[in-house]
Structures are given as C-alpha cells and as structure tokens.
C-alpha cells in the first residue's frame, strides 16, 4: 500500500463536483455517502477496522478500537454549497496517507490511532455547524440534533436512520488527543504548514423580518410594510458594525416569501454570521446589529425576531501541545483563524491541535479554493511526524 | 343551468391553495391544468365549444367560433406564488355567469361572445407577464416565448407541447372588443364596480450583482467583494427613488449563489419592478436606480449587469367605450391602476375596457386578498349588462 497524494486526491475529486467546479457535498446525502464508502474502502485496504459512534462520525482504527488515550486525526467530507474540495477532505486524505508514511517508516504506535470523518461540519444541510463533534462531546442534546431539519423537511434523525447516540461514554479517557489538518482559509500563512493557536468565537443568528404581502404595482409607497427594506438595511448595518469593531459579519443567505417580482414580501429571512477575536467584541457587534435592525423595523412597519442558531465560544488550543508541534516542525508559524472546526469543539474536552496547509489565494468556501500539491504533501509529512511523536 | 356565484367559486377555491391560504397556480402546471379542465367542463355544460389559439389561451364560444367582431370577456387562472384567489379567476368565473344571466334574460347576441382564459398573465412561471396575450397580438416572437425557462429549466415551448402559434391571423377583424373584469388591486374604489381608465407603464429589470465567493469567517472585511452589499444598497435606493418621484419601485425577488450562511456570495440576482403614471417618470426612476447601483458596485468591488425582462407602455383604455360603460352602470367611477393586465396588451390592437370589483382592504398578490360576495355578484350583473349592450 503505497498510494500517493495525487492518487487518493484524484479518486475523490469528481465526487459531488458541480459544473462550476464547486462541490455539493451535503452530509448523509448521495455524494457524501459515496465519500463515506470511499472511507470504508480506504480503511479496509489498510486493515483498519471502521467503527461509528452512533452520531454519524466514522473512525478507522490502527490499534485498539476505543482503547485508552487514542490519538485521532481527520476532518469532514461535507462542503458548503458550491464550496471548495480541500475544506475538510484534505484532513481525511492526509490522515490515511500519514498512517501509510508511519508504517513505511516502521513506526509501532504505543497508543491507538484513528482516522476520523466528522459528520455535518459545515452545517450546510441541518444548520448547526460541527454537529457530529457537538454530539460526540455532548455539546448538543441528541433529541435536539435529531429534530433539526434540512431545506426539504427531512430531519437529521431520519437522515441518520436513528436518534443519535450522543456523548461518547468515557470520552476523556478514550480520546487522548485530536490533531486536525485543514487548509488555511485566509492569507495568513506564508509557508507550507502552520499550527493553530486559537479559533475566534463565532455564531449564526437568524433574522425573521415580517411585513405585509401585497401587490408591488398598486400599493402606495406610503402604505407599504416591506420587510425587504429592513433586511437590506440590516445587511449594510452588519457590514458597517463589523468594520467599526475589527470583527467579521456577513449576511450571505436569504429566503423570501413569496419571492415573486410583483409581490411585496410577507417574510424575508436572513442569516447573520458574525465572528471576532474576543467574545466581548462579538457580543457588541451582534447587539449593535440587532439594535439597528429593530429601529429600522419600527420605521418600516415591519417586525423582527432574532434566533441564535449556533454559538461557538473562543477556542485557545492547548499551548504546550501547539508549542511542541511547532518546534517539531522546525518552528512552524502559530496563528489564529476565524473559521470554526471540529477540533475547536473537542478542545473543550481533550487536548487538540490543528495543522494548517497554506492557501495561496486565501479563498475558501468557493470553487476557487486551492492548495498546491507540494504543500499538501508537506502537510502529510508534518502530520506523520506529529502522530509519530505523540504515539 | 342556473349556477350561482358561490357554487362556481367554491368549486375552484380549493384548487392549488397552500396551507397559508395563498395560491400556487403556475401556468401549465398541475393546479392550473385542473382549472383548465374546469374551464372546458363549464363550457361544455353551457354548450359553448372551446378552441385554443395555439398559444395556450382558451376560448369558450357563444356564437360563431372566430367569427367577425367577437366580444371577448375573461382573464387568467395563474397566480403569483402565494397570491390571492380573485386576481384572474374572478374574471373567468364572472364571464361564464354573465353568459348565464344574458341567456336567462333571453338575450340573442348579434356578435359572437367568448369567455377567455389567458395563459401566464403573472409571469410567475416563465418571467414575462401577459405572455398569452403578447403571443396572441404578436407583441412577442413565438420562438422567443418558446425559449423562456421556468426555475427548473423547462421551456414554455415544452410546457405548451409545441412552439406557440403567435399572432392570431385576422386579429383586428375577428376580435371586436375585450371586456376584462378584475378585482381592483388598491384601495381606490369605494363602490362595488368601477371602470378602468388607464394602466401605468411598468416593467421588470433583472440586476445581476457579481462578486467574489469566499469564506465568511476568514476573509478580511477590506478584502471582500460582496455582492449582497450592492444588492442591499440597491433595494434601498429603488425605494427612495420611487418615493422621490411619486412612482412605485420594488425589489421583492432575490436569488443568491451559493446562499450559504458562511460563504460570501459570488452572485446576487435581484429583480426591480417599477411603475409610474408616465413613461418619463418611470424612465427617470429606473435610470437613477441603475446609476446609484453602478456607483455602489464600484465601491464594493462588484459588477452589475442589468437586463430589461419586460416593459409595458402606458395604456389608455378607449375613452368612448369606458364612458359608455360607466354611463350604462349608472356613472360608475373611472380610475387608473398600477397593475398590468391582458386587456392592456390587447388595447394596442382592439377596443378594450376593464371592470373593477371593489377590494375592501386593497391587498392583492397575497393570501389576504379578498372581495365580498355581494360585490362579485354586482360585478357579474354589470358585466352581463355591458356584454348585452355590446352584442
């Protein structure tokens, strides 16, 4: 078994790719199910038995399954709609290839190693990001997760085929560490491989703007209660508040009822994605956006309700582990990120670290996302060194 | 055959009604096809042979089919998404019941009378309003109409089963007049029945805002090229320009790619519906909106292309006909409307008039649209008097 990066990568590249080059890999739907089959197949080729945790997360084992103090490595298969191919799958492919490299070197691990594929990391289908790792760690109730619906009304429980199992018994003794390799998602990394220091706190808020559906041609401007106006104002307010506070805020998803050219909407629903280096800043930005949106709703004659759909507190990865890895990799740069990851969820319970692979354009969540093959290979070698060092 | 208004109305009320009470009656799809069957059935009960014009418009004849100088009456079955039940169907139901009333009175028409159901009046499926009447009068090329697509990529030609036949040969000698009865769509009518004087010029423009898809969490605010910002600014600019100029402008429909919470969009597509009492005002409003949107795109680093999807010039209904009808109805009020109608399209070719039935709330294109039964019955009696007077 001496697969190269290119062989494995080219094997999954066509799966779920749309004509614009972006990916439509939603959790537990056709292309992602094909990737899960690919995962089982790669594990079988390496004599790595596969278990799942009853939450939709898959584990391929080198050593005792659910033995004590295992070192996990991996990421997720699912994409945002029309996202890039590296965000997630690079960590899983690299996990299998790092195992190959350790075996080639004759390494005999003293702790179990598992390659892991977390389910629904993007929240692209059921709305809650890192759903698989939240379930595994007990950060979300199984019944609540089971009831989450996709855009067609299918629940997560139905897609999974069962109510999720929830928190892994003996989590903190069984999982000794998680090392997640991931493409970097900004332009902050100028060498092939870096180490994560922290993840910004971030969250998603749904803004339901309700107004009064009516005829766009006949309703006098003064008589309108048009929720599209309140939404539009809020989009601009979110952008301004983020810039004023050195945070990130985005309204990138919108649903309109009835969404017809000649009918004033009765409902406009927009989602706010907000992130900042500190929780206090994040809270201030979200509070300011809600305040301004509410004031505008008063002027527009519309109504606003805001629902926090997810919130991820600030993550600081274990400093001694990050320092040890950075030293091992020849003083690799240590840097924070604004992107959420399963490693961030696990970091509240077990030692976690992340390796970042350089992103030359900084583009992610887009068909244009790219990493150079040579950097990916350096990432695999770095991951193998880290896993070898830890086991 | 002595059906009452309530009998006919209750017979069609459940067809295509959604749970919110609004209607999903798209042209040449299931519920509208059921209504077309209902049309053929009502015609058969009255010994009125049905023809179609090869464009999807249906005609039920009392007297010579396509004889000279026929008087048409009717409207359309299709709705905007989640629109009301009166907009369109009231005119068709009233047409059949007016025929019943004339027969009850022993009227013998000297000219053919036809009840007509025009196809795709709202443009809710294929994007061009009054598509059936535009084809009938030659206002759109059959090949162009055939190529229009719905949201699933099905063409109008495919839905129709053939290339449309286009302009009716001998149009102006065969059709002597069209009297369209319609629910009024504002709050301008304070008695049960009124007569239309004019339709405001109006049109639809598609704004394609393109930017740069990227990660909402990691992309610095300064590096973004977010087309949602340009769209949002344009929504507010359109509203402001309409108010400043005494016109109507609405952006009520939007499509976003990829429409994911954590991905800056690569494309936001919004539709502008604009109307004004005079063409000069309408032009000025649309020009100002495009100018301001273009300037903002420059600041946002996005790009804008604008496509005019439809334009309907100002319609002034034939004044002697409107005056004759108003007098016949006991000096009924004569009033303009901002809403487009098939009668407006036909008015460029043959004498046309419209009867409006009072709308107590002024709401239309909404589940809340309503007309009182007593007013609808007055509308039918008025239509019977007008048809009797003309034939």
Cβ count near B190 (within 10 Å): 9
Residue in B221, B275, B363 closest to A248 by CB:
B221
Q: Which of B17, B196, B260, B266 is the best residue to mutate to test the A interface, defined by the most A CB atoms within 10 Å of its own CB?
A: B260
**Residue A310 confidence (pLDDT):** 87
Question: Which residue of A78, A123, A257, A260 to mutate against B (max B Cβ within 10 Å)?
Answer: A260
CA-based nearest residue to A227, from A215, A209, A214, A213: A209
Widest CA span of chain A, in angstroms?
Answer: 78
Of the candidates A306, A269, A268, A300, the one whose C-alpha atom is nearest the C-alpha of residue A287 is A306
Which residues on A lie below 8 Å from B242 (Cβ)? 221
Closest-CA residue of B relative to A184 is B218
Is B215 in contact with A366 (Cβ distance < 8 A)? Answer: yes
Considering only alpha carbons, which residue of chain B is nearest residue A271? B261
Q: Do B213 and A82 touch (CB under 8 A)?
A: yes
**Contact list, A248 vs chain B (CB under 8 Å):** 216-221
* Percent over 90 (pLDDT), chain A: 92
pLDDT of A50 > 50? The answer is: yes
The rounded distance, in Å, linking the Cα atoms of B247 and B249 is 7
Count CB pairs under 8 A between chains A and B: 250
B285 CB neighbours in chain A (<8 A) are none
Is B20 exposed, middle or buried, given 0-12, 13-18 or 19+ CB atoms closer than 10 A?
A: middle
DSSP A339: S
Taking an 8 Å cut-off on Cβ atoms, the answer to whether B214 and A248 are in contact is: no
Vertex B95: Cα angle to B93 and B100 (nearest 5): 95
Task: Enter the tokens of residue A220.
Answer: 């006098």
| Cβ separation B251–A231 shorter than 8 A | no
Give the per-residue pLDDT at B66: 83
Task: Decide if B366 and A221 are in contact by the 8 Å CB cutoff.
Answer: no
Q: Which two tokens stand for residue B183?
A: 């629910």
- In whole angstroms, give the CA distance from residue A331 to residue A277: 24
CA distance A52 to A64: 14
Distance CA B336, CA B359 (A): 14
- Measured between alpha carbons, how far is B228 from B239 in angstroms, rounded to an integer? 17
User: ipTM of the predicted structure?
Assistant: 0.84
**Alpha carbons A337 and A187: distance in angstroms, whole number:** 10
Min Cα separation B17/chain A (Å) = 14
CA distance between the termini of chain B: 21
B-chain residues near A254 (CB < 8 A): 228, 254, 256, 259
Q: Which of A250, A275, A315 to mutate to test the interface with B (most CBs of B within 10 A)?
A: A250
Flag whether B87 is marked binding.
yes
Q: What is the mean pLDDT of the segment spanning A335-345? A: 93
Q: Averaged over A261-267, what is the pLDDT?
A: 95
| CB atoms B252 and A261 under 8 Å | yes
Minimal CA–CA distance to B165: which of B52, B309, B311, B26? Answer: B52
Q: Which of A122, A248, A254 sits opposite B256 (nearest CB)?
A: A254
Q: Are residues B213 and A363, on separate chains, in Cβ contact within 8 Å? A: yes
Give CA–CA dist B316/B319, Å, rounded: 8
Who wins on pLDDT, B187 or A99?
A99
Query: Over the stretch B106-155, which tens digit does the pLDDT of each residue have?
Result: 999 999 999 999 999 999 999 999 999 999 999 999 999 999 999 889 99
- Confidence (pLDDT) at B1: 43
pLDDT of residue B226: 98
d(CA B363, CA B354): 19
| Separation in Å, CA of A93 to nearest CA in chain B | 22
Distance from C-alpha of A183 to C-alpha of B253, rounded to nearest angstrom? 36
What's the rounded Cα separation, in Å, for the pair B230 and B299? 9
- B-chain residues near A221 (CB < 8 A): 239, 242-243, 248
Query: How would you write the pLDDT of chain B (391 residues) with one tens digit per residue?
Result: 458 999 999 999 999 998 888 999 999 999 999 999 999 999 999 999 999 999 999 999 999 998 899 999 999 999 999 999 999 999 999 999 999 999 999 999 999 999 999 999 999 999 999 999 999 999 999 999 999 999 889 999 999 999 999 999 999 999 999 999 999 998 889 999 999 999 999 999 999 999 999 999 999 999 999 999 999 999 999 999 999 999 999 999 999 999 999 999 999 999 999 999 999 999 999 999 999 999 999 999 999 999 999 898 899 999 999 999 999 999 999 999 989 999 999 999 999 999 999 999 888 999 999 999 999 999 999 999 999 999 9
- Residue among A185, A223, A273 minimizing CB distance to B261: A273
Are B252 and A265 within 8 A, CB to CB? yes
Q: What is the pLDDT of residue A2?
A: 59
Burial of residue B320 (number of CB atoms within 10 Å: 0-12, 13-18, 19+): exposed
Residue A358 annotated as binding?
A: no
- DSSP secondary structure letter of residue B223: G
Q: How far apart are CA A245 and CA A285, in angstroms?
A: 7
- Reported as a pLDDT band with limits 50, 70 and 90, residue A49 is very high
Of B202, B262, B275, the CB nearest to A122: B262
**Distance in Å, alpha carbon of B109 to nearest chain A alpha carbon:** 36
Asked if B80 and A262 come within 8 Å (Cβ–Cβ), the reply is yes
d(CA A76, CA A93): 10
* Cβ contact A363–B214 (<8 Å): yes
Q: Which residue of A has its CA nearest to B121?
A: A262
Task: List Cα–Cα distances, A350 to A136, A347, B62, in angstroms.
Answer: 12, 5, 83
Question: From A125, which residue of chain B is nearest by alpha-carbon distance?
Answer: B260
| H/E run at residue B306 | strand B303-312
Residue of A124, A185, A228 lying closest to B215 (CB–CB): A185
Q: Which two tokens stand for residue A221?
A: 């401007």
Domains within chain A, CATH numbers bracketed: 5-200+314-390 (3.40.630.10), 202-312 (3.30.70.360)
B267: closest chain A residue by CA = A252
Question: Annotated binding residue at A262?
Answer: yes
On whether B275 is known to bind a ligand per the annotation, the reply is yes
- 3-state DSSP assignment of residue A15: coil
Residue A111 annotated as lining a ligand binding site: no
Beta bridge partners of B316: B198
Section A358-375 average pLDDT: 92
Chain B residue nearest residue A361, CA to CA: B214
pLDDT over threshold 60, residue A1 = no
Per the annotation, does B378 bind a ligand? no
Across the interface, whether the CB atoms of B217 and A200 are under 8 A apart is answered yes
């Amino acid at each position: 078994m001496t697969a190269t990066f290119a062989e494995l990568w080219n094997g999954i590249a066509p799966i779920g790719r749309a004509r614009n080059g972006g990916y439509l890999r939603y959790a537990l739907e056709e292309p992602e199910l094909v990737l899960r089959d690919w995962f089982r197949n790669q594990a079988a080729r390496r004599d790595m038995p596969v278990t799942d945790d009853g939450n939709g997360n898959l584990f391929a084992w080198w050593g005792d399954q659910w033995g004590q103090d295992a070192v996990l490595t991996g990421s997720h298969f699912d994409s945002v709609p029309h996202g890039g191919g590296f965000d997630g799958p690079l960590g899983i492919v690299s996990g299998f290839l790092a195992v190959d490299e350790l075996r080639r070197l004759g390494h005999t691990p003293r702790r179990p190693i598992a390659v892991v594929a977390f389910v629904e990391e993007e929240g692209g289908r059921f709305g809650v990001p890192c759903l698989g790792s939240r379930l595994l760690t007990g950060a979300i109730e199984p019944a609540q997760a089971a009831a989450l619906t996709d855009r067609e009304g299918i629940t997560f429980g139905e897609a999974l085929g069962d109510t999720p199992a929830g928190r892994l018994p003996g989590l903190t003794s069984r999982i000794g560490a998680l090392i997640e390799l991931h493409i970097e998602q900004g332009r902050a990394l100028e060498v092939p491989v870096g180490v994560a220091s922290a993840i910004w706190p971030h969250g998603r808020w749904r803004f339901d703007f309700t107004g009064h559906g009516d005829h766009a041609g006949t309703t006098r401007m003064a008589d309108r209660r048009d929720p599209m106006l309140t939404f539009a104002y809020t989009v601009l307010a979110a952008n301004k508040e983020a810039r004023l506070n050195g945070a990130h805020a985005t309204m990138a998803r919108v649903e309109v009822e009835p969404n017809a050219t000649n009918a004033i909407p009765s409902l406009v629903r927009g989602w706010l994605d907000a992130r900042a280096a500190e929780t206090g800043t994040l809270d201030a930005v979200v509070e300011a956006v809600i305040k301004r949106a509410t004031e505008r709703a008063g002027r527009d004659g519309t109504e606003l309700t805001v629902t926090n759909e997810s919130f991820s507190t600030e993550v600081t990865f274990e400093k001694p582990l990050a320092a040890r890895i950075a030293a091992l990799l020849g003083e690799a740069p240590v840097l924070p990120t604004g992107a959420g990851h399963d490693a961030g969820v696990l970091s509240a319970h077990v030692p976690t670290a992340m390796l970042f692979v350089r992103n030359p354009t900084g583009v992610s969540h887009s068909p244009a996302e790219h990493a150079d093959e040579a950097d990916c290979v350096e990432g695999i070698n770095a991951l193998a060194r880290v896993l070898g060092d830890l086991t």
